[in-house]
Amino acid sequence: MDGLIQHFYIGSYARMGSPGIFSAQLDRAAGTLSVMPLCSEVENPSWLTQHANGNVLYVTEEREKDGRLAVLERTGNAWQVRQRFPAGDAPCHITVDAAGENLFVSNYLSGSLGVYRLDSDGRVQGQTQLIQHSGHGPNPERQEKAHVHSTLCTGDRVFVADLGLDLVVEYHLNRADGTLDRVRGMSVSPGAGPRHMVQIDGQPEMLYVAGELDGNLYRLDLSSGTVAEKRRIVPEDYRAELRVSSVKVTGRTLYIGCRDLNMVVQFELCPDGTTGRCALYRHRQETPRDVWMDEQYCITADEGSGGLTLLSRTGMELTQRAFIKTEGACPACIVPVR
């Protein structure tokens, strides 16, 4: 945040040589959003994560075969690729632990998790571990094998959402060598397809999981490893492919992007962590793959429409203010700048 200007990095699906990473600026006083190209040196940079030092960006190059992890460093006002490492097939998500020592890459099509060690400047020293999941779920088209979709790291606990296995797998992070030991697998409903996860401040034994395939939000009780609450995200009568996408929290509001329904869904969170009032916003653009929200504004990365949407937020009511095209790129990820 620079005064009343808030900055974001935007990841997208874009060809090598075309702008794929963008810088976005939200002018909070004027209620406007501007977008500028930042980097054209990466292919399909669909997910970005920033190191705590602010000078390093980690990027998935999401290719169906032989995906890559790209490491970008800031040079003045520009970003340049300084390192590249092999990843699995279709790497789709990156997490860095709070200490800035370890990085986790989710390889969707390979069904694997890559673990990488970082030095004190945030550069990747190499891969310390590759964990392969195996098995399948009841959906023959989407769950024919393991599909590792995302990770969430809190302290020494690393949670991995596997869409193909209907599992959230918990690992213990060994700080000495940066490797993971499996602790347990926590099941959601068969065919749920867990995609992304989020926690809320002050309630470390709760984990919220978005089911991409069944359109439900799951609240896991980590003390028992069981589902404590299951809440429908989308209308009950919706039977087509759902493809629920991101799930995030701001304050006491949990919000979710629904790609195929073109909706943004908000849940009010009660003091005990249960979900309360729900608000549905039917989006004008197509495929809101990622969503960012605070008390005043909301931004969506609209993959299908090829741009970003800025909305005003009053309570749980959303109103579109502007749509900005990202020519030649389909936005997929929104990251607030540290």
pLDDT digits (tens, 9 = 90+) for 17-52: 999 999 999 999 999 999 999 999 999 999 999 999
User: Cα separation of 78 and 185, whole Å?
Assistant: 42
Q: Residue 76 has what pLDDT?
A: 85
Please state, in angstroms and rounded to a whole number, the distance separating the CA atoms of residues 239 and 237: 6
Query: Which residue ranges in the chain fall short of pLDDT 70?
Result: 1-2, 238-242
Encoding tokens for residue 68?
A: 């890559």
Give the range of the structural domain holding residue 131, as residue numbers without chain letter. Answer: 5-336
**Per-residue confidence (pLDDT) for residue 236, from 0 to 100:** 74
Tens of pLDDT, residue by residue over 163-197, are 999 999 999 999 999 999 999 999 999 999 999 99
Residue 311: both structure tokens together? 């909305």
Handedness of CA 153, 159, 162, 166 (dihedral sign): negative
For 262: left if phi > 0, alpha if psi spans -120 to 50, otherwise beta; the answer is left
Please give the pLDDT value at position 240. 57
For the chain, the domain total comes to 1
Residue 168's CB is within 10 A of a number of other CB atoms, namely 24
Contact 188/149 with Cβ under 8 angstroms?
A: no
Give SS3 for 208: strand
Distance between CA atoms of residues 217 and 210, nearest Å:
5
Give the domain CATH number at 115: 2.130.10.10
